[in-house]
């Protein structure tokens, strides 16, 4: 089932944090999901449904966002996994309507622990739009070609000046 | 055509129901949490799709009211299933011999609660024809 499957995956992805050399020396921080055998716990069943706390030092990169978005889309049962590409449009190629887009947005909100308002989710046409939106939200710009304000600007300025001269 | 305001109300209601289906906890039968979550999700999907073509503004307003009523009832009573109703107390049961006039159907429609608006009622007749009304 969709909801429990990707809830499990989000929990596991928050546990297994990449151990980079720059992190301080401590063990991986595991959240308890099993019943604790401490008798003093008033409600042991609360531990089973423990909601993982969002860690603020998660480092967002473009491949991570892209793979998570594609995973959430693949887990959606109305999307054919083989037909799903980065640029496949939801309405035309995959045959989804606005209700499905809302459902996908809700799943993405659960995955990325953020809110996506309706004004933004109305403009999602391809998965690439979603990934770009999330990159903008988390300030990920390593996949964007840097625009240098040097040579190209000078050439454009020269061309514009020449056009102004001729008119 | 549906204006943008009603469209966004409908989509907000749909999103609220989907989020409810992700976080639903069954209180009476804790083992049935997954089953009830699946029920909420499938009901919202099927009923919203069934009523997608509704154009009349009053009907649309009533359908939105139906959705909100079901959400509120489910959250309050911790039970996602709608409470079914029977015939009104002053009416006679349907039988083959008796002719039911249009007014009787209208009274029965009016007496049904709002949260059962999208459900069809089928008359059980042993004949071949089975009149069903939405």
**Which phi and psi (to 5°) does residue B133 adopt?**
-125, 145
Q: Which residues contact A146 (CB under 8 A, 6 or more apart)?
A: none
Q: What's the full length of chain A, in residues?
A: 167
Closest CA to B87 of B66, B105, B64: B105
Whole-number Å distance between alpha carbons of B47 and B43: 6
DSSP 8-state code for residue A108: H
Closest CA to A104 of A141, A147, A75: A75
Between A74 and B28, where is the model more confident? A74
Between B84 and B134, where is the model more confident? B84
A99 within 8 A of A105, measured Cβ to Cβ: no
Count CB pairs under 8 A between chains A and B. Answer: 35
Q: Cα angle at A149 between A146 and A150, to 5 degrees? A: 115
The whole-angstrom distance between A100's CA and the closest CA on chain B is 9
**R_g of chain B computed on alpha carbons:** 17
Catalytic annotation, pick one of A80, A87, A97, A136: A97
Taking an 8 Å Cβ-Cβ cutoff, which residues of chain A contact chain B?
1, 3-4, 7, 45, 49, 97-99, 102-103, 105-106, 110, 118
Lowest mean pLDDT among A49-58, B41-50, B103-112: A49-58
pLDDT of residue B124: 59
Render pLDDT for A35-51 as a digit per residue (tens, 0 to 9). 445 445 455 445 556 67
Instruction: State whether A99 and B49 contact (CB < 8 Å).
Output: yes
Lowest mean pLDDT among A75-79, A139-143, B118-122: B118-122
Confidence (pTM): 0.69
Instruction: State whether B11 and A102 contact (CB < 8 Å).
Output: yes
pLDDT of residue B131: 43
Q: Is B4 exposed, middle or buried (0-12, 13-18, 19+ CB in 10 A)?
A: exposed
Lowest mean pLDDT among A38-42, A139-143, A160-164, B117-121: A38-42
Instruction: State whether A102 and B34 contact (CB < 8 Å).
Output: no
The whole-angstrom distance between A6's CA and the closest CA on chain B is 11
- Mean pLDDT score across all residues of chain B: 84
Render pLDDT for B58-87 as a digit per residue (tens, 0 to 9). 999 999 999 999 999 999 999 999 988 887
Chain A residues near residue B37 by CB distance under 8 angstroms: 3
Question: What percent of chain A has a predicted confidence (pLDDT) above 70?
Answer: 65
Please confirm, yes or no, whether A110 is among the known catalytic residues: no
Q: Where are the alpha helices (DSSP H) in chain A?
A: 2-15, 45-48, 62-75, 98-112, 118-121, 127-138, 151-166
Which residue in A1, A7, A103 is closest to B18 by CB distance?
A: A103
Whole-number Å distance between alpha carbons of B109 and B117: 9
Q: Cα angle at B83 between B45 and A103, to 5 degrees? A: 15
Between B124 and B44, where is the model more confident? B44
The segment with the largest mean pLDDT, out of A7-16, B57-66, B104-113, is B57-66
- Mean pLDDT score across all residues of chain A: 76
pLDDT of residue B129: 43
Q: What's the full length of chain B, in residues?
A: 134
Render pLDDT for B1-31 as a digit per residue (tens, 0 to 9). 578 899 999 999 999 999 999 999 998 888 9
Instruction: State whether A118 and B12 contact (CB < 8 Å).
Output: yes
Chain A residues near residue B24 by CB distance under 8 angstroms: none
Closest CA to A5 of A69, A81, A63, A71: A71
A52 within 8 A of A8, measured Cβ to Cβ: no
Q: Which domains does chain A have, with CATH numbers?
A: 2-42 (no CATH), 62-166 (1.10.1200.10)
Instruction: State whether A99 and B48 contact (CB < 8 Å).
Output: yes
């Amino acid at each position: 089932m969709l909801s429990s499957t990707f809830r499990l995956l989000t929990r596991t992805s928050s546990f297994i944090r990449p151990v980079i050399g720059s992190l301080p020396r401590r063990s991986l921080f595991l959240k308890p999901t099993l019943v604790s055998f401490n008798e003093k716990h008033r409600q042991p069943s609360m531990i089973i449904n423990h909601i993982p706390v969002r860690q603020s030092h998660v480092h967002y990169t473009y491949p991570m966002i892209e793979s998570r978005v594609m995973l959430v889309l693949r887990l959606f049962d109305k999307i054919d996994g083989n037909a799903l590409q980065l640029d496949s449009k939801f309405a035309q190629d995959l045959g989804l309507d606005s209700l499905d887009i809302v459902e996908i947005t809700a799943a993405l909100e659960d995955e990325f622990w953020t809110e996506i308002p309706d004004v933004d989710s109305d403009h999602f046409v391809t998965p690439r739009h979603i990934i770009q939106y999330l990159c903008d939200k988390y300030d990920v710009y390593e996949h964007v070609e840097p625009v240098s304000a040097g040579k190209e600007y000078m050439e454009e300025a020269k061309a514009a000046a020449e056009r102004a001269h001729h008119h | 055509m549906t204006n943008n305001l009603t469209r966004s109300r409908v989509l907000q209601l749909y999103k609220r129901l989907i989020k409810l289906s992700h976080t639903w906890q069954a209180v009476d039968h804790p083992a049935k949490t997954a089953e009830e979550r699946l029920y909420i999700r499938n009901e919202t999907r099927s009923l919203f799709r069934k009523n997608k073509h509704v154009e009349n503004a009053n009907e649309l307003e009533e359908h939105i009211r139906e959705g909100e009523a079901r959400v509120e009832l489910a959250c309050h009573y911790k039970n996602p299933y709608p409470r079914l109703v029977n015939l009104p107390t002053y009416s006679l049961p349907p039988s083959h011999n008796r002719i039911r006039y249009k007014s009787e159907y209208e009274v029965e429609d009016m007496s049904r609660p709002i949260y059962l608006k999208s459900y069809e009622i089928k008359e059980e007749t042993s004949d071949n024809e089975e009149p069903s009304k939405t």
